[in-house]
Amino acid sequence: MGRSRRTLPEELLLLALDPTTGTTAQPQSLDLGLAGAQLVELALAGRIAPDGDRIAVVAPRPTGDPTLDCALELLRRRGAPVRAVHWIGGPRLGLRQTYLSHLERCGMVHAVEGQMCGVLPTTRYQATDTAISREIRARLDSAIRTGVPPDPRTAALAALAHAVGLGKHLYPGNEGRSSRSRLRDLIRHDPMGGLVAHAVMDVQNGAAAQPRRGPATGRQGAGPGARSAPQPARGVPAQPRHGSMARAAVH
């Protein structure tokens, strides 16, 4: 898999990045969306495929993308197809920061250090080339405006954007209501994107809750912005929250 093409997690993150404030919209649900976007990207690369509501590895060879290959290897180690909702609901602390750091290395964003309340260090990210974000947004706008079935990558991006609640960020207010509705409807144009998007929303609604985590918190809300506490997916190690994550207050 060549690196000339941006991956879906990168595009989803750029779509969520506010060009003015340097913060990301829907930060909590976005973390789930990035895990889901990895699955869709691996499916587009022919490495995994849907098996009902589960994900099966069909070609374990590396893609050449270290972050995707880490996810692929974890899926391979499971040995059997894993439910998408369980995979997406597993803890992946640092995934958003990993992609932000990658975008910074590629020159697509730059870090801006600051302080919250004059004390707590923060890091925000500003796009260095807004043309890239505009191109991503234009693909969604075109699919919404024309009604022509989009390519699988754009359809999956639309499904993920809807699932994590970016519709109100991209198309705000009453005037954006019809566009948000069409964004939601694009979910049907890519089976893998639809499977993952529904899994992201199910996790937010508490469908992936594990009894051993104590009282369920999935009744916070049923919309894309609501999220229950993430539950561990078997075989997925939690990454430690060290300096860069504690400092990178990207909300």
Mean pLDDT to the nearest integer, 3-23: 83
Residue 132: predicted pLDDT? 87
Strands of 9-158 (E only): list them. 48-51, 54-57, 82-83, 109-116, 120-127
Supply the Cα-derived Rg of the chain in whole angstroms. 17
Residue 159: predicted pLDDT? 95
Q: What sign does the CA torsion over 105, 153, 63, 230 have?
A: positive
Token pair recorded at residue 82: 């894993």
Instruction: Return the half-sphere exposure (C-beta side, CA atoms, 13 A cut-off) of residue 153.
Output: 15
> What's the pLDDT band for 222 if we cut at 50, 70, 90?
very low
Following DSSP, what letter does each residue of 86-129 receive, concatenated? HHHTS--TTHHHHHHHHHHHTTSEEEEEEEETTTEEEEEEEES-
Residue 118: predicted pLDDT? 67
The answer to whether the predicted template modeling score (pTM) of the entire model surpasses 0.85 is no
Mean pLDDT to the nearest integer, 112-136: 78
Residue identified by tokens 């022919």 is: 46
Residue 207: predicted pLDDT? 64
Which residue, 42, 51, 53, is CA-closest to 7?
42
Residue 221 scores a pLDDT above 70: no
